[in-house]
Structure 1
């Protein structure tokens, strides 16, 4: 979920505490991995609705989602759950996430067990997740559903990508705790890798995040945030 590397933090794995039994907390970034009220519902409000989903994936052409910050895999699992119930027959989903510190299988399974609604997705993800995730992790989750997790610094990883995405979930740790994940350079890379008419959604509403997204070329929209949070951001890469 992070791009910045605090001193004394291991390079390849998330270092966690656990709050309330099953809520992972990053020691490196002094922050929770998702909204404390309900991260699954937050995903639906911010990332799916912010990207106009599931409406925009009602097509036969492959739909490509990218995410900054895989974390527990919660956004993947909730997206996949909604995809299973709404995607047209024969459609395909490719979900790509960029993650500096991938979590261990047991930690992913523990965190996602909080939501019985995604038990089907959690079980498959945990079963297929590698013991030592590194490099480019490719997992076929189900017919027509593929997961790619690119382990490493986000800016470098995005620099190696060439195929643009239909939707972006911008889900790094809070901008105040991890400003590198919201930099002008990274937002420009996100814009480059967005199809014309493609969208992004993020819980972040900090002024410098909004300015960096707009400077990259996105038309940025403010919407009410989740669970009483005043604002979130979403937007579109203009067509033409």
Structure 2
């Protein structure tokens, strides 16, 4: 099980907020729709799914993105195994994650399947999941693998700038397969420049909800 940290979130209208960063873990409008728009559509998924496809993520949070990705994988009829690696410095307690998932009735079947399994690894016939704990600035450079798609989902760059530093964005690019992709809800200029300097071709797409723009990238 993950370390219990009972005071790291507070609930505002059933949406979990980080007390450290004063930022929600997902959109207060519709977290499920945000993940589908930003991270699935933003990375051209599920159309790109193939056996062994590897998603990596900065900021695991409540695990919502993993749930959404695995539902999309199963609904797409993709064969084989989806690999999903997430980097997280401040893990939630499993009970907190399970409570957050209650807001999404469309995900309840999968949420119930994974509820007793939350920890640093999950192995299913169609999923290999690993949660890498610690500061991504330290852990990502040591990671020996590369992703086909990145979900860049840290807290707001204005409140959590460490997770968006140019050097870390360069590491994201370095750990991306040729032709791989990245997507994030933010359109902050320094984030876009960091990804571009790392080796991504960056485009700006329509954002979700109140956000006018989001960022997408393809590894050259």
For normalisation by structure 1, the TM-score amounts to 0.87
From 117, 122, 125, the counterpart of 1:139: 122
Match of 1:48 among 40, 54, 61: 40
1:154-204 deviations in whole A, cap 9, x for unaligned? Answer: 111101111111000000000000101100110011001000000001001
2:59 maps to what in 1? 69
What is the CA distance between 1:125 and its match in structure 2?
2.2
Q: Contact between 2:200 and 2:219, CA under 8 Å: does it hold in 1?
A: yes
1:138 shift after superposition: 1.3
CA RMSD of aligned residues (A): 1.4
1:124 is aligned to 113
Aligned residues: 217
> 3-state DSSP class of the match of 1:70?
coil
- In the TM superposition, 1:74-223 aligns within 5 A as 74-88=64-78, 90-130=79-119, 137-140=120-123, 142-223=124-205
Please say if residues 4 and 93 of structure 2, whose CA atoms lie closer than 8 Å, have aligned partners that are also in contact.
Answer: no
Q: After the TM superposition, which residues 220-235 of structure 1 pair with which residues of structure 2 at under 5 Å, given as runs?
A: 220-235=202-217
Mapped partners of 1:228, 1:160: distance in 2:
36
Segments of 4+ moved more than 2 angstroms:
11-14
Superposition deviation, residue 228 in structure 1: 3.7
Query: Which blocks of at least 5 consecutive residues in structure 2 are unaligned?
Result: none
Runs of at least 5 residues in structure 1 that lack an aligned partner in the other structure:
1-10, 131-136
Deviation at 1:50, TM superposition (A): 0.7
